[in-house]
Amino acid sequence: MNIAIWIVIALVCFVLPATSLTDGGKRNPERSKLNQHAVQVGLPLPEHLMLPVAERIRRRQRGMASGGTIGIVVATLIYIIFFDNDDGAVGFLVLFVAAMGTALGGAWAIISHRPTEHIHRPVVARVRSVQFSDYLTRGERFGLWVVPATLVAGAAAGIVILLQLPEDQRSGAFVTASTVTVLALLAWAMSMYALRKVLDAPARSETDLELAWDDAERADSLRQVANLIIVVAAAALLFWLLFIGVALTTDGFYRDHEQATMVLSIVSLLVFGALFGVLSAGPLKAWLSGARRGYEQRQLWPHGVDS
């Protein structure tokens, strides 16, 4: 598939939906759409808060649009420099970098913003520091924390399984799959740094409700980055599974070694299926049960917020 088509897919799947409320940060949201967004967030939005809330949303979505665009440009340059054909790996590269750029761009917009000190009314301050547990459910945090363990376990299992095959059947699989795992681990480390910075980013709000809207934006940003890293880890595990499948079917190996192929296939599916389950069970449960919706408000504003 031509890389231009992958770029369009990346824009349609990641960048445009994530920034549609403000057209990529180019304008303030329409009033009707902003009210609809407030219903989804679960917070009231009185007239005097519409402008500051709209500016928060616009700033973050502008960062997301910029990050996604930069990601697509970087992926295109990598393709031009390193790839001599247009295969599925290029599509994965474009989609992965575009998604990562979009999520981290939104986080960076929060991190880099320095609120004005010229607020005439008293500034609301918290009496305690916020933590990941205030913004992400237990299941979402579990999925994030187990990423390194599942990646290492997946790599170890993949190596052991591939070592059961003749060397000519697994040519190149170790290096490529291990490289993907290392890149996924680096992405996790970079994302954890970004998540911590989002928690530490300063905020200046005139009312409790405005601060609650800040919390909603931060929770959305943290969740996007966390979910992205979990997807990246799952993709890295999938790479190992695909390489094992290719090694088992290359040059008719499965025809001459039917029993070994069946055993290794079943073991691979069980091991990597279990790792997929460990990685995704928490976030999926939080999504399906609806526990993540308004979670930060229940944690930080258990008695509600005055408008």
Q: Give the SS3 label for residue 261.
A: helix
**Does position 1 have pLDDT exceeding 60, yes or no?**
no
Burial zone of 40 (CB within 10 Å; 0-12 exposed, 13-18 middle, 19+ buried): exposed
Share of the chain above pLDDT 90, in %: 36
| pLDDT average, residue stretch 238-242 | 89
Mean pLDDT: which of 138-147, 240-249, 256-265 is highest? 138-147
pLDDT at 58: 92
Answer with the residue of higher pLDDT: 252 or 246. 246
| pLDDT average, residue stretch 286-300 | 91
pLDDT at 86: 57
Rounded to the nearest 5 percent, the helix, strand and coil shares of the chain are 75, 0, 20
pLDDT at 52: 87
pLDDT at 304: 79
Could you tell me the CA-to-CA distances from 239 to 88, 236, 288 in Å, in that order? 12, 5, 27
C-beta separation of 279 from 150 below 8 A = yes
Please write the tens of the pLDDT for every residue from 35-89. Answer: 898 888 889 999 988 988 898 899 999 999 999 999 899 888 888 887 666 555 6
Domain coordinates in residue numbering, the chain: 1-113, 131-307
Please write the tens of the pLDDT for every residue from 87-97. Answer: 556 777 788 88
What mean pLDDT, rounded, does the chain reach? 86
Answer with the residue of higher pLDDT: 91 or 191. 191
| pLDDT average, residue stretch 190-211 | 87
**Does position 282 have pLDDT exceeding 90, yes or no?**
yes
Q: How confident is the model at residue 266 (pLDDT cuts 50, 70, 90)?
A: very high
| pLDDT average, residue stretch 173-198 | 88
Which of these ranges, 72-81, 94-103, 164-173, 201-210, has the smallest mean pLDDT? 164-173
Q: How confident is the model at residue 260 (pLDDT cuts 50, 70, 90)?
A: confident
pLDDT at 96: 80
pLDDT at 302: 86
**Does position 134 have pLDDT exceeding 60, yes or no?**
yes
Which of these ranges, 3-7, 118-122, 125-129, has the smallest mean pLDDT? 118-122
Provide the 10 A C-beta neighbour count for residue 259.
Answer: 7
| pLDDT average, residue stretch 235-257 | 80
Q: What is the pTM of this model?
A: 0.85
Query: Among 277, 279, 271, which Cα is nearest to 156's?
Result: 271
